[in-house]
Chain A
Amino acid sequence: MQHIKQRQSGLFPWRIGFQGSINLQSQLINCRTNSFILSSLILLIQAFSFSGHCEISQAARDSLKPLQNINRLKANFTQTRHVSKWQTDVKTSGKFQFSRMPHKSVLWEILDPSYMAVRMDDNGLFLKSGKNSTWKSIKSERMAEQMRNIFSWLSFDLAAMEKSFHIKNHKNNEFILSPKQDDSHFEHMHLFLNPDNLVEKIRLNEKNGDYILIEFSTSQVQR
């Protein structure tokens, strides 16, 4: 059970009032939005961090094997979201970090045009909405479940991975992931590896026709 004391900053941060409006609802909407943002970030991280485990050919599996030995990984990314309804692109950029030692942790930081970051480690899930803000713990059963999934991915648990996705080795360096559940927000995820078998870009195709393209650059790998 959560209490007021768990609120870390701000007075009624969700407080959005208007005549006859329902702040409870607004909280719920906002938090749903918030939860969804986190889920989206988690999804992106999942997509990126899964690289080495999939239901694929032995050759491809062999080629991905070195990824399982990565202890630390840093990369810059550029993210482009194409909103088909508005016929426009929204671009952001930031940094991604993955670390296996001393404990598993993932950091997804958007730096431009504004700051937002999400961190996952053994202690849970945390969100930071501004550079000068503090990390906020997100305690939610649903989030926790997703966390467990992510850590199974991070530890290259192929069996757990295959529970959620059908994985296909489309070309030598391209993999297609299709969600097993119909209620997924995505239709497909395309994963492209570079000649060094590191993730080069990810394209997430949404069911509504939008897509998100994440391109990684200047990766630093420590094995």
Chain B
Amino acid sequence: MKDLRSQFEFSRFNCARRLFPRLFVLTFLFLIFSPANAKVTSSNKIFFPAKEGRPLLELQKTPVTWWNFLFYDSSKIQRSKVCDLLSGLDKESILFNPCGNLPVNQQWLNRWSKENLLHSPPPQSLRDVEKKLNHALVQLSLPLPTGQLEILRTNPLADFSKLEAVFSRFFETSEPSTDKWKAIPILFHFPPSKVSKTENLLKSFPTDSSHFHWVGPHIGTYENQQTIIKDVKKVLTTGTLLLGLLFLFLILRGRVAYLLLIPILGISCLFAYLVVHWAWGSIHGLTLAFGSGLIGISMDYAFHGWKTNHDHFLWKTNSIGFTTTFGAFLLLTFFSIPLIRQISFFTSTGLACAFILSFSLSRLMSTRWKIAPLNVPRFNISKTIRLSLLGLFLLLAVFKIPGFHYDFALKKMDHSISLRPEGVSDEDLFNDSSRLGFLPVQANRQEEIISWGRNENLSLLGSHSLFTTRHSEDSLQKWIQWSCPPGQGIKALDNPTFQKIFREFYSFLSCENLQTYRLNDWKSSLNLFKNQNQELLIVKANNKNQYDKIKDRWPQSFFVSDFTKNFSKSMEKDTIQYLIIIFLFVSSLLLIVFQKRFPLVILPTLGAVLGLILLVGFSGRPATFMTFMGLLILLGLTLDYGIFCTAFLKRRKPLDDVFGAVSLSALTSICGFAPLAFCTHPVLRDLGGSIIFGLMGACFVTFIAYPLFEVSGGKKS
């Protein structure tokens, strides 16, 4: 016996000695030939369907949407004190801070004051210029701060005196506040995607104080990202530890062969990564994170198929299980959200690779490696108790069905909202009754729009010029033509006072400077709205009636509230539609293979659904988009359990072997996904919670229900 054992040990060692170096060489070769320009992105483009998401993505690049609100508890702290604290913020990162003496970023202002000259045609006559310079002199004689003097000095042609108090109006109309919480709007000088800049900015402000709370796109992006990073770190540490313990347990139980699954999964992920990279040009970080976990489903086939004797029957059932899972993920590659498409494509590719590798190694396993089935304790309970337990589980779930509700609202996936104290909200700009809209209009139609707006009592909050490069360059050429002829242009205005005070203005409009002047690069942003000489107006519809009128007159106008509503509806429609399609596909396939035993196959999946119903019913929180994504993953996992068990029952084989495989599969899934259920971010928490509760339901049904049929099948010896 001892000799036999030592022979077995030696054989195992010998096999590992040969196999591992080969797999490592293969992995190394993959790494060598992987594209040098491999790109892992974190862009938020991938979250939105092209049709619905494009306007929002375009708007995110528009600085007029970069407003954030600093809420302060007015019962505890005065505005002047808040302003003092705000003065400590990095000035270069702030474009507009109403607290400051000069509220606008000076560097930006200097460039703006110069460049905006070039986007209007040159003046008709020098007399006009002289008049405006005199007017600027009047303003310069007033006690203005140095920064504002500089604007007037560099661009005295801008007619400041005609302007109304839009500044006050903007804050009076859009500054959200309650009795306790007042807000100071602050315009950041960079897009929300520059999270590190937001972090630096916030570091210089006491955000931990209970008297303050930031709200806005930058803060939301930052808070969500920070929470996800913290959660992912937690999940990685706990998940790796749990999986390590699981593999240690397997080694101790003499199933060292399962360690081969690690390089198999590694190679499959690498292969999927290369294919996705080839097909998409880049790969999203979330695809790598979630997709790699999903490829882990392929471990089911190894747990089930790697046995001492290579059994075609096992691999036949594995093939059915693989086809259903692979097919479901393949169908999801047509989902409207690009991220889901990419994850599904990545997963199906990786699953296929892992399945082929596991199958190829199976024969080798059977000859070189002795893998005994993992015995799991069988609950030797009577049929009545089993039926009672199942009935109780079913009753509990049926009882909770009325409490099952779902909500696909985007805010359910935004962690930053849950961090806000009561009364702190910027929703009055984005809700149904008071909507913020963006109207792209031709600049030459402004008169019409203004008069229409007057009649309709519209609130106009601002505008953003969408000048094309061509328009700007044409304008610059006109200024060159105005300035360059000898004795013409600004130099013809030979006034010593003007020349002294407006020295920078004279020098900017000199022929030499204009000829070499390079305008700001107009990036290809705002493609959706971009047209020759357009304005993007920002309006606020104060009621449903105003909103209807705007939409009626300008159907191309874009309202943020519309986007969130349409996006949620589109997600809901797509999710339900794909669940039905996948269910039909899987059902048809299983009906063909298992015929009248089909209800048996879907037992674990029903258990998973009941588990989800219980989760939603007891937690009181609605099922979200991520809960349904969890259900799709559960389909892939639990159908395998049903297929394995039913195939064994069909063959009148004892279920001990298959229960071992199911237990291992469920354990690995729980080790991988359970830490997600304890995350703070709702996206991860909902996904983890649904998988864990679904798996528990599926395992409960598998271990309690199938033995009933085993006995009635008559094979149990």
User: Which residues does A use to contact B, with CB under 8 Å?
Assistant: 1-7, 9-37, 40-41, 43-44, 79-81, 83, 85-86, 88, 90-92, 110, 113-116, 127, 129-130, 133, 136, 138-143, 183, 185-186, 204, 206, 208, 210, 212
B464 lies within 8 A of A24 (CB): yes
Cα of A44 to Cα of B170 in the assembled complex, Å: 27
When distances are taken between beta carbons in the complex, the residues of chain B under 8 Å from A5 are: 453-455, 457
When distances are taken between beta carbons in the complex, the residues of chain B under 8 Å from A185 are: 101, 143, 145
A4-B161 contact in complex given A24-B64, A41-B142, C-beta closer than 8 Å:
no
Is B463 at the interface (CB under 8 A from chain A)? yes
Is B469 at the interface (CB under 8 A from chain A)? yes
B447 lies within 8 A of A34 (CB): no
Which of A4, A22, A143 lies in contact with B453, CB distance below 8 A?
Answer: A4
Is B375 at the interface (CB under 8 A from chain A)? no
A37 lies within 8 A of B142 (CB): yes
Is B465 at the interface (CB under 8 A from chain A)? yes
Cα of A13 to Cα of B80 in the assembled complex, Å: 31
When distances are taken between beta carbons in the complex, the residues of chain B under 8 Å from A12 are: 446, 450, 463, 535
Which chain B residues (427-483) contact chain A, with CB distance < 8 Å?
446-447, 450, 453-455, 457-465, 467, 469, 472
Is B95 at the interface (CB under 8 A from chain A)? yes
Interface range on chain B: under 10, 10 to 19, 20 to 34, or 35 or more? 35 or more
B160 lies within 8 A of A30 (CB): yes
When distances are taken between beta carbons in the complex, the residues of chain A under 8 Å from B472 are: 18-19
Cα of A38 to Cα of B669 in the assembled complex, Å: 69
Selected interface stretch from B109-117, B389-397, B509-517, B554-562: B109-117
A31 lies within 8 A of B168 (CB): yes
A43 lies within 8 A of B143 (CB): yes
When distances are taken between beta carbons in the complex, the residues of chain A under 8 Å from B169 are: 1-2, 140
When distances are taken between beta carbons in the complex, the residues of chain A under 8 Å from B455 are: 5
A25 lies within 8 A of B465 (CB): no
When distances are taken between beta carbons in the complex, the residues of chain B under 8 Å from A11 are: 446-447, 450
Nearest CB of chain A from residue B475's CB, rounded to whole Å: 9
A13-B162 contact in complex given A4-B460, A18-B112, A113-B137, C-beta closer than 8 Å:
yes
Cα of A32 to Cα of B145 in the assembled complex, Å: 11
A2-B465 contact in complex given A18-B116, A91-B141, C-beta closer than 8 Å:
no
Is B413 at the interface (CB under 8 A from chain A)? no
Nearest CB of chain A from residue B15's CB, rounded to whole Å: 64
When distances are taken between beta carbons in the complex, the residues of chain A under 8 Å from B131 are: 114
A208 lies within 8 A of B101 (CB): no
B465 lies within 8 A of A21 (CB): yes
Cα of A28 to Cα of B162 in the assembled complex, Å: 13
1/0 contact string of B522-536 vs chain A (CB within 8 Å): 110000000000010
B64 lies within 8 A of A34 (CB): no
Cα of A129 to Cα of B183 in the assembled complex, Å: 33
Nearest CB of chain B from residue A5's CB, rounded to whole Å: 4
B115 lies within 8 A of A31 (CB): no
A21-B116 contact in complex given A2-B169, A136-B164, C-beta closer than 8 Å:
yes
Cα of A13 to Cα of B120 in the assembled complex, Å: 13
B134 lies within 8 A of A114 (CB): yes
Known: A7-B450, A25-B187, A79-B141. 6 other contacts (CB 8 A): A18-B472, A28-B170, A29-B96, A90-B501, A129-B161, A140-B169
A23 lies within 8 A of B460 (CB): no
A138 lies within 8 A of B164 (CB): yes
When distances are taken between beta carbons in the complex, the residues of chain A under 8 Å from B187 are: 25
Selected interface stretch from B146-154, B598-606, B648-656: B146-154
A23-B143 contact in complex given A16-B158, A18-B112, A31-B163, C-beta closer than 8 Å:
no
1/0 contact string of B159-175 vs chain A (CB within 8 Å): 11111111111101100
Cα of A91 to Cα of B497 in the assembled complex, Å: 10
A36-B115 contact in complex given A11-B446, A28-B167, A143-B168, C-beta closer than 8 Å:
no
B160 lies within 8 A of A2 (CB): no
Is B553 at the interface (CB under 8 A from chain A)? no
A30-B463 contact in complex given A3-B454, A81-B140, A186-B143, C-beta closer than 8 Å:
no
Which of B137, B145, B148, B454 lies in contact with A114, CB distance below 8 A?
Answer: B137
Which of B104, B457, B469, B535 lies in contact with A28, CB distance below 8 A?
Answer: B104
Nearest CB of chain B from residue A134's CB, rounded to whole Å: 11
Which of B104, B521, B522 lies in contact with A29, CB distance below 8 A?
Answer: B104
Cα of A4 to Cα of B450 in the assembled complex, Å: 7
Cα of A14 to Cα of B148 in the assembled complex, Å: 16
B142 lies within 8 A of A29 (CB): no
Nearest CB of chain A from residue B316's CB, rounded to whole Å: 63
B461 lies within 8 A of A24 (CB): yes
Which of A3, A19, A130 lies in contact with B457, CB distance below 8 A?
Answer: A3
Contact sample, A vs B, 11 pairs, CB 8 Å cutoff: A5-B457, A22-B464, A25-B96, A30-B166, A33-B160, A37-B161, A90-B140, A114-B137, A140-B165, A140-B172, A185-B143
Which of B172, B453, B522 lies in contact with A19, CB distance below 8 A?
Answer: B522
Is B363 at the interface (CB under 8 A from chain A)? no
Nearest CB of chain B from residue A204's CB, rounded to whole Å: 6
When distances are taken between beta carbons in the complex, the residues of chain B under 8 Å from A23 are: 64, 462-465, 535
Is B217 at the interface (CB under 8 A from chain A)? no
Cα of A27 to Cα of B500 in the assembled complex, Å: 28
Is B139 at the interface (CB under 8 A from chain A)? yes
Cα of A186 to Cα of B144 in the assembled complex, Å: 11
Cα of A104 to Cα of B542 in the assembled complex, Å: 37
When distances are taken between beta carbons in the complex, the residues of chain B under 8 Å from A143 are: 165, 168
Nearest CB of chain A from residue B231's CB, rounded to whole Å: 35
Is B520 at the interface (CB under 8 A from chain A)? yes
A9-B151 contact in complex given A2-B172, A28-B96, A36-B144, C-beta closer than 8 Å:
no
Nearest CB of chain A from residue B92's CB, rounded to whole Å: 15
A90 lies within 8 A of B160 (CB): no
Smallest CB-CB A-B distances: 8 pairs: A24-B462, A17-B465, A129-B161, A5-B454, A31-B167, A140-B168, A4-B453, A113-B134
Nearest CB of chain A from residue B558's CB, rounded to whole Å: 16
When distances are taken between beta carbons in the complex, the residues of chain B under 8 Å from A29 are: 96, 103-104, 109, 151
A113 lies within 8 A of B165 (CB): no
Cα of A141 to Cα of B112 in the assembled complex, Å: 29
Nearest CB of chain A from residue B537's CB, rounded to whole Å: 9
